[in-house]
Structure 1
């Protein structure tokens, strides 16, 4: 009997496995509630039982097409879609049956980028008026597909999505979806009255090269070596976690070894007796790249001497420093009181009573910045030393700083195997599996993480666009957001990596066909890299699509720099997209222009609107040769056209910027 039972179990297993293998499997991009691109030959593909005849029947025309499943179980065919409408159903059968329900025919847009595209309506984003927006998000003709975050060293066919596939837009489904994508799609739906499908494939803090295929990246010499490393990781996948831990320990030890403020693990520059004569002034909060340490990554020590009141002696205190980029260790009178590694976290450290003595005290903070902005960047009012809610000492303002080490002195920090900021890994996992699902176009909001290499972005960003078009075999529209204003305003004209990144985006607009750029230089926030007014970002992107893709006769762009000519001691600027006239917000004088002579030193300029042109001059520059507009991370600027759309930042010179040699 035992032997018979074994045969029966084996038979049941084989039968079950065969039945399972016979099931039709579709990629996750195909599901109930999806939107298919109208008036197109839409590819369908998947797996089924090898050799079977697979049939697809569409309810909009009740026609059936068929194909034969290949020996490896794969199949692919095309379905012809009508003009927009729905809901419809699609039946797929090879003996077993699969049905897709509540399918709409309309317009499909891929929405990608980093955190300002990912930023949800609610959750960590909480955009402006989010509660009202959520409550009113009843749009059954808008469908949402959220691609889950994942990485891969090689292109994969397996797409990982949230909610098991497409969902209908509602107050229940919209809170965690991309706000920019939603407002873009909502505006299209309201103007076109056509079903809209939105595919959100985004990941905060990521670099453009992560979203680009290996084949395209290999055409840029800058990425040959990193891609060799990706290939090595792919071949050595099982050992990567152990390897990373070992390399991280070694790297951290090397940083401490090279840090001139440390000796044998002790914080020399945190001691009370440290001489400050060779320390330099720095005002905080504010990223040091934008003030005293342009283009610097590494270790910086900051210290501030304060007076402890007599009644605070021998009492526990709270040190609040708000946000610091990236990691920090805080000391009070030379004693470590805490450390944080999360650059988005607000720092709050407790100081034990035994360390608190009346009189002079020294607060020292060792900050390690591995890329992007560095230093204190939170709210001034949240930087304080407190005894209680009523008694505190403000800490914003003047500090002293000293450089411990520059990261250029040592090899780059090791990356975890699943770090999204590696070349091609997001393309492989989050974009490649979508190909060749038919889309109308793409919208893109990214660039913050590439700002330190803005000159490189001049080549990389157009490469990404052409790469995606090559993969889809379609020159589809690609509309993107130019970086918003961010970081502290500066009193005088200065170089800025964010300005250079915006220029790279602007050049892409000028030199690559079927692109559009939504300018957001007027709706950012100085202290938040994630501005809350995502409604306007989505609206401006939709204006471009409505005008350029759907042929609506509407203004879609602010003034765009065209040319200049020197007229004695002034320069005259001409613009495109100025047919509706030039003006300023609130009718104020024009702000944001600077001019320079042959010495390359810029001064704020007086700018006057003359019809559809701007005439710029400056008393300090007798013979101007160059003009810049809104050339800063957070410029004060106000030039718009009659449609209320802002002018893009620009410059007339081609002088080498601060990111020129960054690779």
Structure 2
């Protein structure tokens, strides 16, 4: 059955379609009208503008006031509308690490300094995305990862690269213009200490590989579920009828304060690290529908339905041992992983697996955010920037039974499959038609895995890493961990788009 989520309002305007509802809010204007020309916080000193794409510059002025914008030889004029909103679009520019100045003029003049042109990404989610470089500096020392001259734990000490710029969106003030236009900073010192570690390490690798400036915008909120980030309040979820219902007159808590004010600042794409709160809510398939909605809504807000959206699959953790409003078992997390994996069907998405990162399954914030940033960067370098490189661990493709064995085949198995520690592959299970699973012996045979179990004479199905505590050793030659799966998924025929 092909699944296509529908987005409707349950009020008198229920017949208005999803796309039409969002278009009036696409520009994400800051509220209020003033006599002086202003720009939103995200447009300021030290910012990075997106290369090779039309770049939106916008703000407010007195109604019908003439506004001009000058930058790198371009001079654009416009007139504020009756509400005082104005917008100009700069022609695409090549990457440049040479600082430039922008002038925005009306009855007053705004001069913005030290502006670069390169790659810009928006990073959002909850506490694992918010996890700061200050926290990263307190992680226990680690062996030196590939590509690092110094321990990533000590990254702040060596972070003096003027080509990496950071912007931290604050919920209580992002909607208001910054009087000094100082929202952006070079990624160093105190500004970097308060910034997302995963986002910084992503920027570090993108800058190193592409040799262009990188700007990172972060607006993650610890403890947040996905619902507050949506363009409307969910009034019903009915997967059985393939429908999500939204009340767009009542957006999610963070959407008007942390998402809309950033649009239409020109981006290359989005990074998303969220899900722990929704796993505690015992979400499974419904999370895939929510995430599909968020991706569509954000892409629509920015006016590009194909903006890359790369995300992190949450890490192993003892969810079932934590008391809350929902009864969770040891399979609740694997079912959530399954929902996250389903979202890979949506065009221009990618997922970083983190089953290998926790050092303590009672800690929901695993260290090693440099690995998260690097894996997201590898996805972007491969899928967005066209570099030939591994960006995913083995991902289940199909299975076939041969005698008393089940053979498993995988995507992203280039160069072969292996154990990360030289020990036998673990966390594989087999079941016959009775559906009872037993531990399986797993062997790498060429391009596939051979499973067998003395308890299962006629294997039909397999599952891998299907428990919340799973930290398996199954990787590809690039060392990237395999995606958890079950061959008997009840969602195998669901299609997201």
Give the TM-score normalised by the residue count of structure 1: 0.62
Determine whether 1:472 maps to 2:472: no
Determine whether 1:653 maps to 2:477: no
Determine whether 1:141 maps to 2:163: yes
The CA distance in 2 between the partners of 1:446 and 1:641, in whole Å, is: 25
Given that residues 127 and 179 in structure 1 are in contact (C-alpha distance below 8 angstroms), is that contact kept between their aligned partners in structure 2?
no
Give the TM-score normalised by the residue count of structure 2: 0.82
Shift of 1:71: 2.6
Determine whether 1:28 maps to 2:41: yes
Change (3 A) 1:581 1:454: same
Unaligned runs of 5+ in 2: 1-32, 142-151, 322-328, 492-497
Given that residues 38 and 83 in structure 1 are in contact (C-alpha distance below 8 angstroms), is that contact kept between their aligned partners in structure 2?
yes
Structure 1 residues 593-618: Cα deviation after superposition (integer angstroms, max 9, x where no partner) = 01122232211110111101001111
The CA distance in 1 between the partners of 2:64 and 2:245, in whole Å, is: 42
**SS of equivalent residue, structure 1 residue 591:** coil
Change (3 A) 1:489 1:469: closer
Shift of 1:513: 1.2
Shift of 1:132: 1.5
Identify the match of residue 332 of structure 2 among 497, 502, 511. 497
**SS of equivalent residue, structure 2 residue 200:** helix
The CA distance in 2 between the partners of 1:139 and 1:499, in whole Å, is: 40
**SS of equivalent residue, structure 1 residue 538:** helix
**SS of equivalent residue, structure 1 residue 167:** strand
Shift of 1:163: 8.9
Find the counterpart in structure 2 of residue 37 from structure 1. Answer: 50
Identify the match of residue 121 of structure 2 among 109, 112, 116. 109
Shift of 1:51: 2.5
Higher gyration radius (CA): 1
Given that residues 406 and 459 in structure 2 are in contact (C-alpha distance below 8 angstroms), is that contact kept between their aligned partners in structure 1?
yes
Change (3 A) 1:128 1:89: farther
Misfit runs of 4+, over 6 Å: 159-163, 224-228
The CA distance in 2 between the partners of 1:606 and 1:437, in whole Å, is: 52
Find the counterpart in structure 2 of residue 319 from structure 1. Answer: none
Determine whether 1:485 maps to 2:316: yes
Find the counterpart in structure 2 of residue 315 from structure 1. Answer: none
Change (3 A) 1:112 1:93: same
Structure 1 residues 515-547: Cα deviation after superposition (integer angstroms, max 9, x where no partner) = 111111111231211011111111111011111
Q: CA RMSD in A?
A: 2.9
Change (3 A) 1:464 1:219: farther
Change (3 A) 1:209 1:70: same
Find the counterpart in structure 2 of residue 49 from structure 1. Answer: 62
The CA distance in 2 between the partners of 1:631 and 1:446, in whole Å, is: 20
Shift of 1:427: 1.6
Change (3 A) 1:91 1:32: same
Determine whether 1:586 maps to 2:421: yes
- Where relative contact order (Cα < 8 A, 6+ residues apart) is larger, the structure is 2
Structure 1 residues 423-464: Cα deviation after superposition (integer angstroms, max 9, x where no partner) = 711122111111111100011111111111112112111221
Find the counterpart in structure 2 of residue 522 from structure 1. Answer: 356
Find the counterpart in structure 2 of residue 92 from structure 1. Answer: 104
Change (3 A) 1:119 1:567: same
Shift of 1:160: 8.4
Determine whether 1:186 maps to 2:204: yes
Identify the match of residue 66 of structure 1 among 54, 77, 93. 77
The CA distance in 1 between the partners of 2:181 and 2:318, in whole Å, is: 37
Summarize the alignment of residues 260-659 of structure 1 with structure 2, pairs less than 5 Å apart: 424-451=252-279, 452-474=282-304, 475-487=306-318, 495-509=330-344, 511-525=345-359, 526-655=361-490
Find the counterpart in structure 1 of residue 89 from structure 2. Answer: 78
Aligned length: 436
Find the counterpart in structure 2 of residue 176 from structure 1. Answer: 194
**SS of equivalent residue, structure 1 residue 425:** coil
Change (3 A) 1:430 1:55: same
Identify the range of structure 1 (169-178 vs 606-615) with the bigger mean alpha-carbon deviation: 169-178
Shift of 1:486: 2.0
